[in-house]
Amino acid sequence: MLIDQAKIFVKGGNGGNGMVSFHREKYVTNGGPDGGDGGKGGDVVFYASEDLSTLQNFRFKRRFIADDGDKGLYRRMYGRGAENMRVAVPIGTLITDVESGRVIADLTEEGQEVIVAKGGSGGKGNMHFANSVRQAPNFARAGIPGEEFDLNVELKLLADVGLIGFPNVGKSTLLSVISAARPKIADYHFTTIEPNLGVVSVDDISFVVADIPGIIEGAHEGAGLGHDFLRHIERTRLLIHVVDVSGSEGRNPIDDIDRLNMELSLFNPLLESRPQIIAANKIDLAAEEDVAVFMTEMQRREYEVFPISAAIADGTKELMNAVAAKLVTLPKTILLKEAKEETMYRFEAEELFKVEVADDIFNVVGVWIKNIVDSTNFDDIDSLQYFQRIIRKKGVIDALKKAGVHEGDLVRMYELEFEYIE
Ligand SMILES: Nc1nc2c(ncn2[C@@H]2O[C@H](COP(=O)(O)OP(=O)(O)OP(=O)(O)O)[C@@H](O)[C@H]2O)c(=O)[nH]1
Ligand SMILES: [Mg+2]
């Protein structure tokens, strides 16, 4: 398969709750509030590592939940913040938010990292809530819950080597003799309609080879099938250009090389400079002097070129040795300097809240208001008063009035519902 994919759930740790406590000491009566703040919940962080090449790890573990922060302590002591949870993913991993479809990150470089779910901040301890009027606040705020998302994690093909060539030249046959892959092989054009991957081992080196559908002229404008797949070989490090040296379809192999390279550069000029090794296939059908002419011309152009007969695996070992030797000299991954894709962006900041009116109910929605509601203890008079003040200060009441709220209307803020009183 071309794309490795997994659906996962990520959640940042919850912030620890703030503490309610009062300073106590011998001979000191009515000490001030000294409850400390809760610690921050851990973030879930994804980072790109070249040690991985598949999303295999996500087959077994699909939930990534960072630890919660500790709660605040006595004597103004902060609760400990939780460690971040760090998850390695292969280079080339694309992360999208399932709900919104937004791209969160495209990790294309070693070590690049992104916070996919932020941990919540800790709640403030009661030491923050004293003022001249309220000297003994007996409430603290709860920690904010960590962000949570369902994510789609996708790894695009990161084959090391791409097999390119016109239809029917023997690309799939070659893949079948150098790897365990079993692509469909037949004597007609476009036998391959989807790319096949094979893992090739040469001594202790292994690499991934991608066999893509045959490319025809005009592919860069969408002719044939190859176009859709050309972009999958943009990230390969090396190309094996397979050509039918016997000219069994009445074509000239040297022309084939030129025309196919032209298609590649029209599709993406970067591909022009991608190293190529040439596989002169079907030598069993070719006249010896034709093979010699072709070889001489390619060597003149300073290509490495190997005469092979893929069907009987003749010469393929030498070809693979050369491929392995070449790969070790090439950079590990080709970075998408000129790729069309987005690299990385975070969610935009959200507005504090929004008032939505439906069926005469005034709904106040948004992450901020949800957090305030979650962290308020409505049974506690101080906490409730604090809540009332903060929503007034941040303009929630004004926004409700603007939306047309009247005495007795129902207002809903997540779990909290009340009748509006002037
Ligand atoms: N005689 C001979 N036939 C070969 C050789 N290699 C491949 N073939 C034949 O050529 C035909 C096409 O082979 P495929 O491997 O399907 O070619 P392909 O390049 O993958 O073709 P598409 O997927 O259609 O682009 C098949 O009938 C193969 O058996 C070879 O070395 N010698
Ligand atoms: Mg094929």
53-70, pLDDT tens digit by residue? 667 678 778 999 999 999
For ligand 1, whether the C-beta of 310 sits within 6 Å is yes
Ligand 1: atom nearest CA of 214 is 25
61 plus 109 within the same structural domain? yes
Mean pLDDT, to the nearest integer, of 256-280? 91
Domain containing residue 388: 354-419
Ligand 1: atom nearest CA of 314 is 31
301 plus 232 within the same structural domain? yes
Q: What percent of the chain has pLDDT over 90?
A: 46
For ligand 1, whether the C-beta of 241 sits within 6 Å is no
116 plus 90 within the same structural domain? yes
What per-residue confidence (pLDDT) applies to 37? 94
Average pLDDT score over the chain: 86
152 plus 243 within the same structural domain? no
Which three-class secondary structure string do you get for the chain? CCCEEEEEEEECCCCCCCCCCECCECCECCCCECCCCCCCCCCEEEEEECCCCCCCHHHHCCEEECCCCCCCCCCCCCCCCCCCEEEEEECCEEEEECCCCCEEEEECCCCCEEEEECCCCCCCCHHHCCCCCCCCCCCCCCCCCCCEEEEEEEECCCCCEEEECCCCCCHHHHHHHHCCCCCCCCCCCCCCCCCEEEEEEECCEEEEEEECCCCCCCHHHCCCCHHHHHHHHCCCCEEEEEEECCCCCCCCHHHHHHHHHHHHHHHCHHHHCCCEEEEEECCCCCCHHHHHHHHHHHHHCCCEEEECEHHHCECHHHHHHHHHHHHCCCCCCCCCCCCCCCCECCCCCCCCCEEEEECCEEEEECHHHHHHHHCCCCCCHHHHHHHHHHHHHCCHHHHHHHCCCCCCCEEEECCEEEECCC
Residue 193 has pLDDT above 60, yes or no: yes
Which segment of 34-48, 145-159, 337-351, 368-382 scores lowest on mean pLDDT?
A: 337-351
For ligand 1, whether the C-beta of 240 sits within 6 Å is no
Residue 249 has pLDDT above 70, yes or no: yes
pLDDT band at 129 (very low <50, low <70, confident <90, very high): confident
113 plus 257 within the same structural domain? no
313 plus 413 within the same structural domain? no
Between CA 281 and CA 74 the distance in angstroms is: 78
71-82, pLDDT tens digit by residue? 999 888 899 999
Judge whether 129 and 190 are in contact, CB under 8 Å.
Answer: no
Domain of residue 311, CATH code: 3.40.50.300
Domain of residue 45, CATH code: 2.70.210.12
For ligand 1, whether the C-beta of 327 sits within 6 Å is no
Interval between CA 84 and ligand 2 midpoint (Å): 46
194 plus 285 within the same structural domain? yes
What per-residue confidence (pLDDT) applies to 227? 62
Interval between CA 176 and ligand 2 midpoint (Å): 10
Mean pLDDT, to the nearest integer, of 128-133? 82
Residue 222 has pLDDT above 60, yes or no: yes
115 plus 206 within the same structural domain? no
344 plus 364 within the same structural domain? no
What per-residue confidence (pLDDT) applies to 28? 64
Residue 117 has pLDDT above 80, yes or no: yes
- Pocket test residue of 172, 173, 211 for ligand 1, highest count of atoms within 8 A of CB: 173
Structural domains in the chain (count): 3
Interval between CA 175 and ligand 2 midpoint (Å): 9
Interval between CA 378 and ligand 2 midpoint (Å): 68
Residue 418 has pLDDT above 50, yes or no: yes
pLDDT band at 2 (very low <50, low <70, confident <90, very high): very low
State which residues have CB under 5 angstroms from ligand 2, the bound ion.
172, 191-192
Residue nearest to atom 5 of ligand 1 (CA): 311
126 plus 274 within the same structural domain? no
Q: Give 413 or 203, the one with higher predicted confidence.
A: 413
For ligand 1, whether the C-beta of 313 sits within 6 Å is no
Residue nearest to atom 4 of ligand 1 (CA): 311
Interval between CA 174 and ligand 1 midpoint (Å): 8
Residue 45 has pLDDT above 90, yes or no: yes
What per-residue confidence (pLDDT) applies to 228? 65
For ligand 1, whether the C-beta of 191 sits within 6 Å is yes
139-190, pLDDT tens digit by residue? 889 999 999 999 999 886 568 899 999 999 999 999 999 988 888 898 888 8
121 plus 1 within the same structural domain? yes
User: Which distant-in-sequence residues (6+ apart) come within 8 Å of 197 by Cβ?
Assistant: 1, 2, 157, 159, 181, 208, 209, 210, 211
Judge whether 170 and 286 are in contact, CB under 8 Å.
Answer: no
For ligand 1, whether the C-beta of 194 sits within 6 Å is no
310-351, pLDDT tens digit by residue? 999 999 999 999 999 998 888 765 444 433 333 333 334 457
Whether the model pTM is above 0.85: no
What per-residue confidence (pLDDT) applies to 156? 66
312 plus 344 within the same structural domain? no
For ligand 1, whether the C-beta of 168 sits within 6 Å is yes
Q: What percent of the chain has pLDDT over 70?
A: 90
* Pair type for strands 416-419 and 44-49: unpaired
Mean pLDDT, to the nearest integer, of 242-270? 91
What per-residue confidence (pLDDT) applies to 286? 95
For ligand 1, whether the C-beta of 172 sits within 6 Å is yes
